[in-house]
Structure 1
Amino acid sequence: MQANSAEHCTIEQTPTVLGATSDLIDGTSLMEEQLAPTTDANCFHGSFSSCMEMYADTKTVADYLDGHRAWFPRCARPMKVEAIGDTGYALTIGRFGSFGYEVEPRIGLNLLPQDHGIYRIETISVPGYQPVGYDVDFQAALQLIETDPTNSDFSPLITRVEWELDLKVLIQFPRFIQALPKSLVQSTGDRLLNQIVRQVSRRLTHKVQQDFHQTIGIPFPRRR
């Protein structure tokens, strides 16, 4: 998640990270036989970190995050969310693509209970679903840090939700893409992954901040 309001937090990334623009399709559809995947797979890997600020004490923020059955499905919209067990979710992110090839990833995420103030989110399998042509490894950690605001009319305390994400995506591209220069495929995939992470994190962060402040009855700070 990337904060996009008063806190001005930004996503930091390694030189080879990915991003996101939903339903971004570059090129036209090709014949079905051209889309047959090869046995070779391309791996795209990114490490990200950012934060968002909540205008409340750490316990209030922790209580809200612990009740993710209430806020996660509504904050994740328009992404489709289905519950898996007590702490898991099947998440359909949207369509993404380039070079005329597109994929609509569906991943399972497990929102683990906090452990000494650390929240972790890990990839889990989606019952009855087998990904075709791709695999995702999502490993995130969130930490709550309480601070005193310098100038705030909303709350005497601010809790910073600082997060780190390690994301690996394995894709079996069609033959016509494998024929392209590997450096072009890698750079395009890295750029697309980076766009995806930015878009999804920015949207989700903004919705979570709005939902949290509305839930506890504190005005949501406007962008400065």
Structure 2
Amino acid sequence: MQPNFIDRSQNSILEIPTSNPMQLTYTNSLENKKTFAFEVSFMGRMDMYSDADTVAEYLNAHEGWFCRCAQPMKVDPLGNNGYVLTVGKYGSFGYEVEPKMGVILHPPVGRVYQMETIPIPDYNTVGYEVNYQALMELSEVSGDSQAETKGSLFSRKQIIPERITQVNWELNLSVEVEFPQFIHKLSSSLIQSTGDRLLGQIVRQVSPRLTYKVQEDFHTSHQLPIPPKSSRQLNKIYKTNSATI
């Protein structure tokens, strides 16, 4: 995969006003630019009330569920296994931008799926670069073993299937952003922590919604009961120089 490099030839850059470091806006400037890289990692799981082969067949037909479940983001096909995601419109002070990213869902190797960013033909990002890497693995378990650890399900008298497929995934997301010269007045640690925190908030908002929609779409299409909230997990991965917590 070829990386989608930042277009440094443009004069349109992403600006953080000093009065509010959480507010992002684009402006035109001829000032020197400085690049910051923000990064977050998450891991999660969702349960599917069916065997692994049935779940894999559903996931392999991603041209259907991906477009349905990614809403309200706009999704356009890109090649055989790729998509262009339009995240939404963001702006301030009369200027509006609509970030886009290309992603590809590779054919599975065994029961492992890989998803990553790809360049969008004839589209140049201005002042930012997104790197998205995700792995998803299917693991089939006995419904009886799950019932032992989820007694709350019985209190609602929900039927537990004989086989459950756990979809375990890990996500690494990094974004490089160009800032103008004046941003040097703020400490690098403040800019870094603010950007990392904001990126994490975005994942925490988007991921649970997408997970639920995929569960709902699969179980409804297969006439199965939708698993409870406890069947969906999302945890942030804290990385240090020598280990992952």
TM over 0.5: yes
Q: Scaled by the length of structure 2, what TM-score is found?
A: 0.73
Matched, 1:160 2:166: yes
Cross-structure match for 1:64: 58
Equivalent residue, structure 2, for 1:185:
191
SS across alignment from 1:173 = strand
Deviation at 1:214, TM superposition (A): 0.7
Paired residue for 2:38, among 35, 44, 47?
44
Measured against aligned partners, the alpha-carbon deviations of 1:13-64 in whole angstroms (never above 9, x if no partner) come to xxxxxxxxxxxx955968x446x67432101122221111111100010000
- In the aligned structure 1, how far is the partner of 2:137 from the partner of 2:76? 25
Tell me how far 1:154 sits from its aligned partner: 4.3
1:139 aligns with 2:133: yes
Partner of 2:14: none
Residue 80 (structure 1) aligned with residue 86 (structure 2): no
For residues 76-96 of structure 1, the C-alpha deviation after alignment (integer angstroms, 9 at most, x for no partner) is 000011100110000012356
Q: Percent identity?
A: 47
**Corresponding residue number in structure 2 for 1:111:** 105
Residue 136 of structure 1 aligns to a residue whose secondary structure is strand
Check the 8 A contact 1:144/1:160 in 2, yes or no. Answer: yes
| Other structure's SS at 2:108 match | coil
Question: Residue by residue, what CA displacement relative to the aligned partner does 1:156-209 show, whole Å, maximum 9, x if unpaired?
Answer: 111110011122211102344343111111110010010011111111001000
* Contact 1:50 1:163 (8 Å CA) reproduced: yes
Alpha-carbon contact 1:37-1:172 (below 8 Å) kept: no
CA change 1:27–1:193 in 2 (3 A) is: closer
Q: What is the rounded CA distance, in whole Å, between the counterparts of 1:201 and 1:77 in structure 2?
A: 12
Contact kept in structure 2, 1:109 and 1:121, CA below 8 Å: yes
Report the secondary structure of 2:37's partner residue.
strand
Matched, 1:128 2:134: no
For the aligned residue pairs, the C-alpha RMSD in angstroms reads 2.6
Q: What is the CA–CA distance in structure 2 between the aligned matches of 1:126 and 1:91, rounded to whole Å?
A: 10
Larger Rg: 2
Task: Spell out structure 1 runs of 4+ moving beyond 6 A.
Answer: none
**Residue by residue, what CA displacement relative to the aligned partner does 1:89-114 show, whole Å, maximum 9, x if unpaired?**
0001235689xx98643110000000
Distance 1:184 1:155, change over 3 A: same
CA distance in 2 between counterparts of 1:61 and 1:96 reads 36
Figure out how many residues of one structure are paired with residues of the other and give that number. 197
Q: Aligned residue for 2:204?
A: 198
Task: Give the secondary structure class of the aligned counterpart of 1:172.
Answer: strand
TM-score, with length taken from structure 1: 0.79
Structure 1: distance between partners of 2:39 and 2:61: 31
C-alpha distance in 1 between matches for 2:188 and 2:201: 20
- Partner of 2:10 in structure 1? none
